[in-house]
Structure 1
C-alpha cells in the first residue's frame, strides 16, 4: 500500500494513548473504546497492506493516523515531564506549600490534556469508519479486481519461453540436472533462492527444458503473490495429464489426491513452482507431491521450504559475464570497429549494475543500435533509465521487479527497510547503530519480544529476515560474539534506489547532500544529511525547517578528524522541540561544546556525538527523561557532569576511556536499572562498585587498572544472570593471593566472557588450568608482560578462541598443538617468549589459522612442518 509505516503510529498510539491515558481520563470505558478503535484500524490497515490496496483515501487516512500518533505522543510525554514529575519528592513544609500553589495550574493542565485526549478518541472513531467504508468499496470494485488480474498475468511465466540472451549458470544447470536425475536422494525438493532480477526463473527454465529430462512427466506453474491454490493445482494436473476432464469441478482436496496418485505411478517426474512468496503457499501445495517427485522452487525468501529442501543460492554475475551479457543484449558484433571503445564504457556500466542480470538486460536493450556518445550518456544517466525503463521493449522495468520484493514484506518490516534510506549509497551500515535507531523510532514491537529477549534481539531478528528476503546484504562478524551475528549490512545500489525513492514518496524520510539548501525541498519529519568529509561541508537552511522528529548527519566515509561545521544557530530547537533522534557524527561543534538547548528536547530518545569534537557535555543532559541511547565516543577526551545516573530510562551508553568527570569524583552509574549496554568504562574514572546494581546489563566493556582484589571481583565475578557479553582489560593488578587466584579462576568460567586482556599483572605460579566449560565463549585472549607460567596447549581447548597474543610470559620449552586443537584460531602472535624452543603441531591442529606473528623468540629452533611447508 502507499504508506508502509502505519503500524509504527498504531504502536505509538497503543502504548501511549491506551496505557498512559488511564491516569488522565480516569474512565475505563473511554480507554477500552480507544483500544477497540486501535485494534480495528490495525486490522483494516493490515488487510489493506496484505491485499496491496492503494488509493488517495487510504493515503489520506494514514496521514491522519500519523498526525494523531505524533499528537498523542507529544501530549502525554510533555504532561509526564512538566506535571507528573513535579508531584514527587517534596519533603519540607515550604516545598509542600509550593506544591499546593502548583495544584491549581496542574488541574488546568490535566483538564487540557483530558480534552485533547478525548479529541483523539473522537478522531480515531471517525478514522475507523472511513477506513471500513473505503476498503468495502475497493473490495467490491470490478476495476480493482481487473487491475489485480492484470498484475497477475504480467507476472506469469511459462516453460516454453526462449532465453535468447543467456550467460553463465552452466555449472548451476549441470548441478541441478544431476540432482533431478539422482533417484537416491532423500530430499527431492530444490529451492533456487536469490534477489529479484538475478535469473532464478531463467535457471529453472533451463533445467526444466534440459535434454536429459524430456522423458520426465513435467509441469510448470507460476505462483505469484496473488496465490490461488485451486487454479495452481488444476494447471499442474492438466500439464501432467491432458486427458483429464472437468478439472474445474474438483475441490482442492480431490485435486491434491489425483495429482499425488498420478505422480506416484510415474517413476520420473519434475514439477517447477516458479515465483513462490510465502511458506504457507508451499505447505498447501506440497501435499500433492509424493516422495519420488522432484520439485524445483524459485523464491526470493530464504525461509521458504527451509526444512524440506536443498537450497541453491544464485550468485551475481562476474564482471566478465556481465560484459558478455551486455554485448549479447545490445547486439554488439565481435567484428564491430568500435568494440574496444564500447567495451571500456560498457564495463563501467556493468560494474554499476553490480552483477544483476535484469539491470544489465534493461540497459542492453536501451544501448542497442546506439553509438559511443550515446553509451556515454547512458552511463551518466543510469539511475533514471533503470527506474523508468525507457525503450526497454520486452524487458520489465527494474524498479517494478524490485518493488515486488518490497510489496511482499510483512507489515512490520517495511518501515525498517525504508529507514535504510538515511544511509549514503554504498555505505557500510553498522548493525548496532541501526538496531538502536529502529528502537528509538518505535519500529520494534514489544509484542514480538519472546521470553528472555530484549528489543535489540527483536531488531536483530528483523534484520535477519530482511536478509533472508534478499532486501539487504548481511556481513557476518569476523570474530564470534554471543550477542552479535552481523557486524554490518549494506544495500545493492538498485535496492538503495528503491528504498530512497519509496521513503521520499511516502514522506517517511529523505536523505540529501549537505551541499543542498534544505528549505528548497519539501521535507518529511525525518531528514538524513550525508556529507563528504574532504569537501569542507556545511549545512544551510536547517534552522528554517520545523516539525522534525529525526536529524541524522552522517559522513559518506570514515574520517578520524571532525570536519562538518555545526553551530547552535543552524538548528531552530524551538521549532524542532519534538525531536526524537539527534545524530551528529563527525561534526565540528562551535566552541567544542554541544548546544545547551539540546537539554530542552525532552522527547529525545537517541543522541550520538560519535567522532565529533565535543569536549564537554552540558549538565542539562540529565533533563532528557526519555533518552534511550547516548553515544559519547568522540574524537578526543570529553568532560562529563556526574549526572548520567539520573537518566533512568537510559538503555545504551557508549563511552571511550578518555573521559574526565567534572568535580573530580568518579562517574556514578548506580540506579540505571534499564541499562543494557555499557561500553566502555575504566576503574580510574567510573565507580566499578555500581556494576552489580545494573540489573538489566547485557553487554559490558570494562578496563580495570591497579585495583585491589575486591574491585577485580566485582568485575570478573559479576553474577548478573542477564549479562551475555563482557570485554575485560586488566592492567597492573595483583592476582597472586589465594583470593586473587580464586577470583581469576571464577571469572574464567563466565559464559559471558568474550575478550580478556591481562597486562603487567602479578599472578600465581601458573595460569588457571583448563576445566570443562572454561572460557566457552572467549574469542580474544591477550597475556602481556605478566609474571606467570602458561601451558599454551591448554588454550587450544578453548572452543571459540580466535585471537591469541602471548608476550613476555613463561612457557614450556616445547609447545605441542594436538590434533583438533585451536579449532577456530585465526590470529596468533608470539612475542618475547624466551623459554620456547620447539613448536610441534599434529595434523588437524590450527585448521583456520590465517595470521601468524613470531617476534623476539631467540631460542625457538623448530617450527611445525604442516604450517610452514
Structure 2
C-alpha cells in the first residue's frame, strides 16, 4: 500500500527530466509501453499542478491541531479544577477527551506517513516508483487534511460548549448551595463525642507530651495518613485532653473549599468571643490572632482536614512561635519544613476486633462471643486495619445473628461500597473519593491506571513507569534539568504515596541510585475505589480470563489477569473497536505460559491506534506473534514476557513510536537483526539466550534514545555498540571475556547510572586481567557484580578510595581467590555479598 508523501513544487520540475531519461532508455520494441507511461506521467503532472496548493496546506492544518490540542488539555484541567456534578458537562468533557485522542492519533499518523517521506528517494528508478504511486498518495494526504479540518471544527464547537457550561454552573445559585451543603456535612467540631473509640492511647500520650514540651523547636505537629484512619479522632482526643484544658484553644476544619478569611475568623472567634469578625479584613485578622496568642503562655490550634500546602502558607502567619499547632491531612507533603510529621498507622488485629465488637454492640458476656469473634476477626482482616471500614461493617452487623455475620463476611466488598453503617460511617467510598477528587489533573489517570493490577498485587514500579510513559501520562513539561521521563514518573508515584493513595514498599536492602521503591500496592478499599472510578469513567476495565465478553460495553483500555496455576483463555474480543491498551498480566511472573492466545482473539485492524500490547504469560498459537502487530504504528509498549513466542518477525522494526520492547520469553528466541533501526526505542528487555537470524551478532548501534538495556550476552551481541548508546542509564550484561569487560567498563557515557554485570569464566590472573578488574571496581555506575568460575589470581583487589562507590551486590561463585572480608566492609553501599 502506498505511504503518504509530502510534495513540494520543486519536485514537479524533476518530472520532465525523469520522463526524458526514461524515454531515452526505451527501445523501439517498447514504444507503445513508453507512450502509455509518458501519457500517464503527463496527466499526473497536470494533476499535481492543481493539487499542490491543497497538499501544502495540510501541514498548516496539522499545526493548528497541535495548538488546539494544547488548548484542550488546558480546558480539561479547568473543568477538572472547577468540578461540577452537571451530567451535561461530564458528557462534554468525555467527548473532549475522545476528540483529544483522535487529534493525537492524527498527528502521529501524519508524522509517520507524511513527514518521514519528505526527503523522498534519489535514484531514477526510485523516483519513477515514487511518482507512479503519487495518485493514491494525493488521496491519502487529502484525507489527513480533511480529518484535521473536521477535528479543528469539532474542537472549537465543543470548547465553546464546555466553557459555557462551566460559566453557567459557576454562576448557578443551586450549584453554590450544593457546594456549601457538602462543605457543612464535612465540617468537624472539637466537642463531638467519640462513642466508638479504640486504641491510640500511646499516640495520645505522645502527642500531648509534645504539646506540653515548651523546649521544642518545631511547634507544629502534622498527623497524616489515609482517609478513614482516625486522624480527626486522634486530634480531638489530644485537643480535649485534661492536661490541655487550661490552654487557649481553637479548632477549625478546612475542607477542600478553602476560604482563608472564614477560617481565620473562626479561629479568632474561639480565642476572643467578643471580636467583631465582619469588621476586619484578612490582614487585621492575622494581626489580631497573632497578638492575642502571643500574650498567652500556652495555646493550641487544631487545623483539621487541610488539603493544600498553600492553605497552610496563607494562615500560618497568624500563629506566633509559642503557639502549638496540630494539623491533620491526607498528604505527607503539607507544611514539610515547619512541621514534625506523625504518621497514623492502621489498627492492630486485636484493636480492630475490639472496635468491631463495640460498634456491633456485642457484649463481653454474650454466650456466643467466641463464635462471633471467630468470624469477626476474619472480617477485621479483610478491612486491613482501617477504622472507617470496620465501623461501616460493625453498623451493618448490629443486631445480626451469627449466620448473618457469615453472610456479611462473604460479601464484604458489596457491603463496604453500599452498606449503611452507624451515623457518619454510612459510606466508605464517599470518604475515600475526597482523596481522589483532591488529586491534581495530571495524577488522576496515573492513579486510575493502577486498576489494571489485581487486588493484593505487588506492582513492579519499573513496569508501572513504562506503562504510564507509553500512555502519555508523564508530561515532558514536568522534566527538570538532567531528568528523564522515568524520573518524572517516579516523582508522580512518590506524590501519590505522600497523598496516602498508594502504599510504597521501601526495600532498603535493594537500594540503587535509580530505584527508590521496588514495588507499590493499594489498600483493598483504595483498590475498590480505583477500579470503580476507572470503570465508571470508561477509562479502564480489568477482567478475569475466565469471562466471556460478548455484548459487554468495554472502555478503550482492557486489562486481563490470569492465574499461572490454571489454564485459561478469553473469548468475545473480536468485535471490540478502538482499543488503546490491551494488557494481559500473569498474577505471578516467571511461570510457564498458561493462557491461550489466538490471532483471532483481538481484531487489531479495528484497534489500529493501540498504544500498549502486553501479552504476558501467554501461549501463542503456533508460537508466533500475530503478524498484524507489525501494522500498529502507534504502539509504544510491546511485552511478550513469559510467553512462548520463539521468533520475532522483521516487521517489528516498522513500529516507529515503540518505546518499550520486552522479549523476556520462556524459551530461546530468534530475532531479526533490525532492532538497531528502532530509533525511538528507550527500554529493551531481552534474555541472554537469544539467537540472531542469520548468525550475526545483535546490532545496537543507532539506538540514540535507549535508556534501559536488560539484558545482553557479550557472545551474541555487538558489544562495541554499547559506548555509542549515549542515553543509556541502566544496563545488565553477561560478560564472557576480559576484552568485552574492558569495552563495557570503558563506557564514557555520563548518563550511565546503573550497571549490573555477571562475569563468567574469565581469567583475571594476568596483569592485563587484574588491571581491567581494578578499573571496573572504580566505576561509579557499578551496582551489582557477580563473578562466576573465574581465575582471580592470588587475591581479590584490595580496597582503594572511591572503589565501589555504589556497589550494592558482590558475589564470588566458585572462584579461586583469596579474599579479605574486612575490605568488603569498606564498600560504602554494599548490602549483599556471597
Q: TM-score, normalised by structure 1?
A: 0.87
Which structure 2 residues correspond to residues 322-721 of structure 1 after superposition, within 5 A?
322-390=352-420, 392-477=422-507, 478-558=509-589, 560-705=591-736, 707-709=737-739, 711-721=740-750
Residue equivalent to 1:203: 234
Q: Secondary structure at the match of 1:543?
A: coil
User: In the alignment, does 2:344 pair up with 1:311?
Assistant: no
Q: 1:275 to 1:137 in 2, by over 3 A?
A: same
Offset of residue 104 of structure 1:
3.4
Do the aligned partners of 2:420 and 2:426 also contact (CA within 8 Å) in 1? no
Offset of residue 801 of structure 1:
0.2
Q: 1:88 to 1:38 in 2, by over 3 A?
A: closer
User: In the alignment, does 2:225 pair up with 1:194?
Assistant: yes
Q: 2:162 aligns with which of 131, 155, 164?
A: 131
Structure 1, residues 311-355: CA drift from partner, whole Å, max 9, x if none?
111000011111100000000001112211111111111111000
Do the aligned partners of 1:34 and 1:124 also contact (CA within 8 Å) in 2? no
Aligned equivalents of 2:545 and 2:621: distance in 1? 18
Farther-moved stretch of structure 1 (784-793 vs 549-558): 784-793
Q: 2:300 aligns with which of 253, 258, 270?
A: 270
Aligned equivalents of 1:89 and 1:110: distance in 2? 15
Do the aligned partners of 2:395 and 2:420 also contact (CA within 8 Å) in 1? no
Structure 1, residues 442-498: CA drift from partner, whole Å, max 9, x if none?
000000011111101100100000000000101123311111111111100000000
Aligned equivalents of 2:124 and 2:504: distance in 1? 61
Do the aligned partners of 2:309 and 2:334 also contact (CA within 8 Å) in 1? yes
Structure 1, residues 150-182: CA drift from partner, whole Å, max 9, x if none?
010011000000101111100000000000111
Aligned equivalents of 1:236 and 1:777: distance in 2? 51
Which structure 2 residues correspond to residues 216-295 of structure 1 after superposition, within 5 A?
216-244=247-275, 246-295=276-325
Q: 2:826 aligns with which of 797, 807, 816?
A: 797
Farther-moved stretch of structure 1 (53-62 vs 774-783): 53-62
Do the aligned partners of 1:358 and 1:398 also contact (CA within 8 Å) in 2? yes
Aligned equivalents of 2:164 and 2:203: distance in 1? 51
Aligned equivalents of 2:789 and 2:421: distance in 1? 70
Q: TM-score, normalised by structure 2?
A: 0.91
Aligned equivalents of 1:28 and 1:291: distance in 2? 62
Q: Secondary structure at the match of 1:529?
A: strand
Structure 1, residues 63-86: CA drift from partner, whole Å, max 9, x if none?
222222232233333344344445
Aligned equivalents of 2:504 and 2:618: distance in 1? 28
Aligned equivalents of 2:271 and 2:587: distance in 1? 56
Offset of residue 33 of structure 1:
5.5
Q: Secondary structure at the match of 2:528?
A: helix
Q: 2:329 aligns with which of 283, 299, 303?
A: 299
Offset of residue 759 of structure 1:
2.5
Do the aligned partners of 2:586 and 2:617 also contact (CA within 8 Å) in 1? yes
Aligned equivalents of 1:301 and 1:440: distance in 2? 28
Q: 1:634 to 1:28 in 2, by over 3 A?
A: closer
Residue equivalent to 1:59: 90
Do the aligned partners of 1:41 and 1:131 also contact (CA within 8 Å) in 2? no
Farther-moved stretch of structure 1 (382-391 vs 560-569): 382-391
Offset of residue 787 of structure 1:
4.5
Which structure has greater helix proportion? 2
Structure 1, residues 722-753: CA drift from partner, whole Å, max 9, x if none?
11111011222233444433332222222111
Farther-moved stretch of structure 1 (340-349 vs 183-192): 340-349
Q: Secondary structure at the match of 2:604?
A: coil
Aligned equivalents of 2:522 and 2:820: distance in 1? 46
Offset of residue 40 of structure 1:
4.5
Offset of residue 693 of structure 1:
1.2
Residue equivalent to 1:843: none
Farther-moved stretch of structure 1 (415-424 vs 472-481): 472-481
Structure 1, residues 807-837: CA drift from partner, whole Å, max 9, x if none?
xxxxxxxxxxxxxxxxxxxxxxxxxxxxxxx
Q: 1:388 to 1:192 in 2, by over 3 A?
A: same
Which structure 2 residues correspond to residues 809-824 of structure 1 after superposition, within 5 A?
none
Task: Provide structure 1 residue ranges, at least 5 long, that are not aligned to the other structure.
Answer: 1-21, 806-869
Do the aligned partners of 1:83 and 1:106 also contact (CA within 8 Å) in 2? no
Farther-moved stretch of structure 1 (378-387 vs 494-503): 378-387
Aligned equivalents of 1:149 and 1:24: distance in 2? 55
Q: Secondary structure at the match of 2:390?
A: helix
Farther-moved stretch of structure 1 (162-171 vs 775-784): 775-784
Offset of residue 614 of structure 1:
1.4
Residue equivalent to 2:28: none
Q: Secondary structure at the match of 1:276?
A: coil
Farther-moved stretch of structure 1 (328-337 vs 761-770): 761-770
Q: 2:244 aligns with which of 213, 233, 244?
A: 213
Residue equivalent to 1:160: 191
Farther-moved stretch of structure 1 (219-228 vs 633-642): 633-642
User: In the alignment, does 2:725 pair up with 1:725?
Assistant: no
Q: 1:532 to 1:792 in 2, by over 3 A?
A: closer
Do the aligned partners of 2:557 and 2:581 also contact (CA within 8 Å) in 1? yes
Structure 1, residues 215-235: CA drift from partner, whole Å, max 9, x if none?
111100001000011111111
Do the aligned partners of 2:745 and 2:776 also contact (CA within 8 Å) in 1? yes
Do the aligned partners of 2:58 and 2:144 also contact (CA within 8 Å) in 1? no
Structure 1, residues 770-807: CA drift from partner, whole Å, max 9, x if none?
222221100011223445443332221111000112xx
Farther-moved stretch of structure 1 (687-696 vs 121-130): 121-130
Q: 1:680 to 1:28 in 2, by over 3 A?
A: closer
Offset of residue 43 of structure 1:
3.6
Which structure 2 residues correspond to residues 726-765 of structure 1 after superposition, within 5 A?
726-763=755-792, 765=794
Aligned equivalents of 1:47 and 1:574: distance in 2? 35
Residue equivalent to 2:7: none
Q: 1:661 to 1:39 in 2, by over 3 A?
A: closer
Do the aligned partners of 1:519 and 1:545 also contact (CA within 8 Å) in 2? no
Offset of residue 646 of structure 1:
1.4
Offset of residue 88 of structure 1:
5.0
Q: Secondary structure at the match of 1:287?
A: helix
Q: 1:120 aligns with which of 148, 151, 157?
A: 151
Aligned equivalents of 2:136 and 2:199: distance in 1? 75
Offset of residue 30 of structure 1:
5.9
Do the aligned partners of 2:421 and 2:427 also contact (CA within 8 Å) in 1? no
Do the aligned partners of 1:24 and 1:113 also contact (CA within 8 Å) in 2? no
Aligned equivalents of 1:331 and 1:182: distance in 2? 39
Q: Secondary structure at the match of 1:145?
A: helix
Aligned equivalents of 1:653 and 1:682: distance in 2? 13
Residue equivalent to 1:141: 172
Offset of residue 91 of structure 1:
4.1
Offset of residue 210 of structure 1:
0.4
Aligned equivalents of 2:63 and 2:122: distance in 1? 37
